[in-house]
Amino acid sequence: DAEITQSPRHKITETGRQVTLACHQTWNHNNMFWYRQDLGHGLRLIHYSYGVQDTNKGEVSDGYSVSRSNTEDLPLTLESAASSQTSVYFCASSVAPGYEQYFGPGTRLTVT
């Protein structure tokens, strides 16, 4: 069965370190998304991609970057981790813009 996986599932890092969260999907979807979920805010879009070599900023993109070198993967990098980036991060994919998105299991990141 097709799926979307994230790694690691839990990560603790220190302020100022660079961190990369992995996202891999076997749906063969062109569209991939990164969200963060915080109490009181719901899911907020960080970055998204509509295909290889395409990346776009979402509503909370400051301090984050993504790159898309193949269809299956969209890694999320925190250039210099800050305590405000402590959150649960979800990756998602969809077959086309506007269609339902399928989510991964999430990565819980703690920045100390």
Partner 1 sequence: EDQVTQSPEALRLQEGESSSLNCSYTVSGLRGLFWYRQDPGKGPEFLFTLYSAGEEKEKERLKATLTKKESFLHITAPKPEDSATYLCAVSTGANSKLTFGKGITLSVRP
**Nearer to partner 1 by C-beta: 10 or 17?**
10
Render the burial of 41-68: b for 16+ CB within 10 Å, e for the rest.
eeeebbbbbeeeeebeebebbeebebeb
Site string for partner 1, 2-41 (x = CB under 8 A): -------------------------------x------xx
Site for partner 1 in 89-108 (CB under 8 A): 90, 92, 97-106
CB of 16 to partner 1, least distance (A): 28
Cβ–Cβ < 8 Å for 25, 4: yes
